[in-house]
Amino acid sequence: MKFRIAILALLAFSLTSCLKTKTDGVEVLNAVKFEQKMQAADVQLVDVRTPEEFAEGHLPNAININVTGDSFDAETAKLDKEKPVMVYCKMGGRSAKAASNLKEQGFKNISDLDGGITSWNDAGKLIEQ
């Protein structure tokens, strides 16, 4: 019985964590939904990995702004806060940090690729060199 209660508590915690992400103003999307949203004309697609990682392959039409670089805030300040901004990294950790930073800067429509470019590749989606 205690095991079932523990499982239910863990499930409830997981569900509220997912809901919190959406209420924080960041939409976490799988590769299919992320690709669909990328098709909008006014999307600002940002790869937040290092320039070296970006050079190895990136999503089509992405720009590179390294979230761990010294100029991240200055570079993202040049983006239009009224247009959707979509971020991704290798696996999702750095893009979550970037999305939080963008939210603090006043961006209103932020999407994060769940699982990063790794999940994009796993889904067989196109990348550019």
9-55 pLDDT per residue, tens: 444 444 444 433 454 789 999 999 999 999 999 999 999 999 999 99
pLDDT for 43 = 98
**Residue 50 domain flag:** yes
Rounded to whole angstroms, what are the CA distances from 42 to 24, 48, 68? 22, 19, 26
**Residue 1 domain flag:** no
Output the domain CATH number for residue 101. 3.40.250.10
In this predicted model, what pLDDT tens digit does every residue of 53-74 receive, in sequence order?
999 999 999 999 999 999 999 9
Q: Based on the residue annotation, tell me whether 89 is a catalytic residue of this protein.
A: yes
The count of domains in the chain is 1
β-sheet bridge partners, residue 64: 47
| Catalytic member of 59, 86, 89, 102 | 89
Distance, C-alpha 16 to centroid of its chain? 19
**Residue 20 domain flag:** no
- Map tokens 């006043």 to a residue: 106
**Residue 127 domain flag:** no
Rounded to whole angstroms, what are the CA distances from 105 to 28, 35, 42, 97, 99? 18, 25, 19, 13, 10
Range of the domain at 47: 25-122
Contact 94, 65 (CB under 8 A): no
**Residue 49 domain flag:** yes
As a whole number, the mean pLDDT across the chain is: 88
**Residue 12 domain flag:** no
**Residue 90 domain flag:** yes
In this predicted model, what pLDDT tens digit does every residue of 78-94 receive, in sequence order?
999 999 999 999 999 99
**Residue 7 domain flag:** no
pLDDT for 24 = 73
